[in-house]
Copies of this chain bind each other. A is one copy, B any other.
Amino acid sequence: MPKIVDKEQKKMEILISATRVFARMGFANTKMIDIAEEAKIGKGTIYEYFKNKDEIFEYAFHHFMQTMEEGLGADLSEISDPVQKLKTLAYSWGRILAEHEEDIVQIMLDFWAEAIRQKDESRLKIIDFDRIYDEYRGLVMTILDQGIRQGKFKPVNTFYIASLIVGMIDGVMLQYILDKENFDPQEALRCFAEELIVGICK
């Protein structure tokens, strides 16, 4: 009988290792041998679990997205007040950022960069950011629309206010990634929830 291995678990282990290396070096600069060494396996073993380097990237992206969405969904599902929901969105995102190993967060940029590259190429669209952004903006828009109907928000252009909010969250992530020492994303997002939503003008 051959060695019995939980292939799914090992695949996930490799994925985690790969994600760490992608985060450290960037996808394009990551060599298969780096991933292998990080996962403490042989170079060839990776190919027992993934078709090629691109597939690892694909899986890494989907795994990352799923983690984010699960985290957000759980936090938001139990709240009904739109204002509170908007605040919670910000707090949750901050919490996820803080909790998750920094590695996973850093990889986000490579996803962005890769998504852009794929826009003009004929390559399979692994990363469909059009859809993802639509989804996220839609989530925020729903909250805003609901709040407007309930008379809790002003009758703003919800699409673009939503895009500003989503953009702000991304922008905060960027600054956190690039300047970890001096930047606390949770505090930034708290400021958004407590100060910006109500307006900074007197």
B116 touches A200 (CB 8 A): no
What 1/0 mask marks residues of chain A from 159 to 175 whose CB sits below 8 Å from any chain B CB? 01101101111111111
**Contacts A152-B201, A168-B167; is A26 near B116 (CB within 8 Å)?**
yes
Stretch from A9-17, A56-64, A72-80, A104-112 that touches the partner:
A104-112
Query: How far apart are A105's CB and chain B's nearest CB, in angstroms?
Result: 10
Q: Which of A110-134 contact B (CB under 8 A)?
A: 110, 112-117, 119-121, 129-130, 133-134
Cα-based distance from A2 to B44 in the complex (angstroms): 10
One complex includes copies of this chain to the number of 4
B199 touches A198 (CB 8 A): yes
A154 contact set on B, CB distance < 8 A: 195, 199-202
A65 at the interface (CB under 8 A from B): no
Q: Which of A24-41 contact B (CB under 8 A)?
A: 24-26, 28-29
Tell which of B163, B174, B175 touches A183, judged by Cβ atoms closer than 8 Å. B163
Cα-based distance from A74 to B131 in the complex (angstroms): 37
**Contacts A166-B171, A170-B174, A196-B200; is A191 near B115 (CB within 8 Å)?**
no
Cα-based distance from A180 to B197 in the complex (angstroms): 27
Tell which of B109, B117, B144, B197 touches A116, judged by Cβ atoms closer than 8 Å. B109
Cα-based distance from A144 to B170 in the complex (angstroms): 22
A175 contact set on B, CB distance < 8 A: 133, 163, 166-167
A187 at the interface (CB under 8 A from B): yes
B178 touches A116 (CB 8 A): yes
A179 at the interface (CB under 8 A from B): yes
26 A-B pairs within 8 Å (CB atoms) are namely A25-B121, A26-B28, A26-B116, A29-B117, A83-B201, A110-B113, A112-B178, A129-B179, A130-B178, A134-B182, A144-B200, A152-B202, A153-B201, A154-B195, A154-B199, A164-B196, A166-B171, A167-B170, A167-B171, A167-B173, A167-B174, A170-B171, A196-B196, A196-B199, A197-B200, A199-B200
